[in-house]
Amino acid sequence: MTFLAHAVRKAARDHGPALALVAGRGPLSLSFQQLNASSEAMAARLAVRGVGQGQVAALLLPNSLDYVVAYCALAKIGAVTAGIGGHYSPAERHAMLERARPDVVIGTEELLTGRLPDAQIIPVRLASDRREFAAGLPMLGRERTHVVPKARSHSESEAIVFTSGTTGLPKGALFGARQIAAIAAMDARSQTGPMPLLVATGLNHVGFMTKLAGHLLSGNRLHMLPRWRAREALDLVCGERIPVIGGVASQVALLLRVPGLGAYDTAAIKALIIGGGPSPADLVRRARGTFGAAYSIRYSSTESGGLGTLTALDAPDEELFHTVGRPREGTEISVRDEEGKWMPAGETGEVWIRSASVMAGYWHDPAATRAALTPDGWLRTGDLGLLDDAGCLRLAGRRDDMYIRGGYNVHPQEVEAVLQEHAGVGEVAVVPRPDTVMGQVGVAFVVPADPAAAPTLEELRLFAGSRLAKHKLPEDLRVVPSLPLTSGQKVDRSALRKRVGP
């Protein structure tokens, strides 16, 4: 049995009529019992169509209760779910489908477009009331069926979660019952009882795919928006008195810009737990002051199962502003050189993670799996950082983002952390451009805090000059209204590099 199937059934017994899933603030919702019954009904309908144990099913569904019901139903059959989601471009969806090589594709007619894989295609329409969920998710009865593959085993594989990297094609991180059970157990240690939560990511994201089972077992009530928008998210968080805001730093920045923010009742908010990239010190200060809540920064990746390090809710400012905290219980962190040798505290190298939550490997990509995972279970993250004397991890950027100016290595995130503290900088990202003399030089893309008073390159170099070596200072400035983001809400450095040209 998959672990998610176990979790759905146990949650129905333990939490029964309590609400498990809510579309926004309602009225469409499902209790734990109804989620179990609906997914059982859909599992039966899929089984009739030949979907079976070990087959790979791609979900081309938007953020909705239907996605969750389908994911749980596939888990009960023993299928492997590849979450695609509805917010990607057609080209991105096609790339993921090519990588997944699914036996079955389940999606809405709006998303089942373009060139589809040679698989069983099951179009569905989204349910509009509980009766339709009880019937096992409405299917349009216009399935395009090819040869239905026989059941096969994937060693208890449950989910394929695609990376949201900023370069290259996405890779599918594979998680099985062992990893998902470990993630549920690790998350349960930090929770004292059921709570309402807003799902801040796409449902195909690692923060949902690997953690749904844990939420169900903990009895959490999950609110889902079709698309995260700051005003709607704030309305929901305050209206439902949600105690923890999760997500990424860019979402916090958008929440702080909601008009009339001061009129919202934010008293129920106790903590912001934010990952997906660094949180600038000024953003942390403003969020803590505005919401009257603690702020915690987490560091993880898709490949690590969404778990890694975390700053304590009562961490001193030095730790909160400049580190991503200490390893979570059950997680090991080390810093290695290019040959894989341990680096002493204070020296920068590649961050390695070892934990029961780490992926089993990349789907259909043994070469990438060998490059990422060591035989003794360490994940090479590709991130650069150092462990300080207090045991906290300080990040210095991506190994692939580093550039060389005049023979010296420059890590963009180190430069960005300093520039971000300039009063005139709202957001900043640094990428290299070719230079005939130095090889590469840094270009700072800056979103000004005040569009009418953007900082100059000279001001930024003077500001950062006392804290950064000269070779690390940017030599070009581009003032922009916003930074491009990937579908995972990370700064799209690939897009920025294209802007500076070859």
CB atoms near residue 225 (< 10 Å): 17
Beta partners for residue 352, in sequence order:
334, 380
Q: What is the pLDDT of residue 468?
A: 85
Sign of the four-CA dihedral 466, 472, 478, 483 = negative
Helix/strand/coil percentages in the chain, nearest 5: 30, 25, 45
Domains of the chain: 3-188 (3.40.50.980), 230-353+378-398 (3.40.50.12780), 403-500 (3.30.300.30)
Beta partners for residue 224, in sequence order:
23
Average pLDDT by stretches of 10, the chain with 502 residues: 94 98 94 97 92 94 95 96 85 87 94 90 91 85 51 72 67 95 93 93 93 98 94 97 91 91 96 85 92 96 94 94 93 94 93 97 95 96 92 85 78 88 94 84 95 95 89 94 80 88 69
Q: What is the 3-state secondary structure (H, E, C) of 237-268?
A: HHHCCCCEEEEEHHHHHHHCCCCCHHHCCCCC
Q: What is the pLDDT of residue 167?
A: 46
Instruction: Please give the model's pTM, rounded to 2 decimal places.
Output: 0.83
Residue 360: DSSP 8-state: S
Residue 271: helix, strand or coil by DSSP?
strand
Q: What is the pLDDT of residue 43?
A: 94
With contact defined as beta carbons under 8 Å apart, do 443 and 477 qualify? Answer: yes
Beta partners for residue 248, in sequence order:
275
Q: What is the pLDDT of residue 352?
A: 98
Which residues neighbour 153 within 8 Å (Cβ) at sequence distance 6 or greater?
Answer: 53, 54
As given in the structure block, the two tokens for residue 320 are: 């909160």
Calculated CA dihedral for residues 55, 71, 191, 265, nearest 10 degrees: 150
Q: What is the pLDDT of residue 451?
A: 93
Length of the chain: 502
Extended strands (E) in 262-362: 271-275, 294-299, 309-310, 326-327, 331-336, 349-355, 361-362
As given in the structure block, the two tokens for residue 310 are: 């975390």
Residue environment code for 201-221, b if the CB has 16+ CB neighbours within 10 A, otherwise e: bbbbbbbbbbbbbbbbbbbbb
Residue environment code for 282-316, b if the CB has 16+ CB neighbours within 10 A, otherwise e: bbbeebeebbebbbbbbbbbbbbbbbbbbbeeebe
Residue 471: DSSP 8-state: G
Q: What is the pLDDT of residue 87?
A: 76
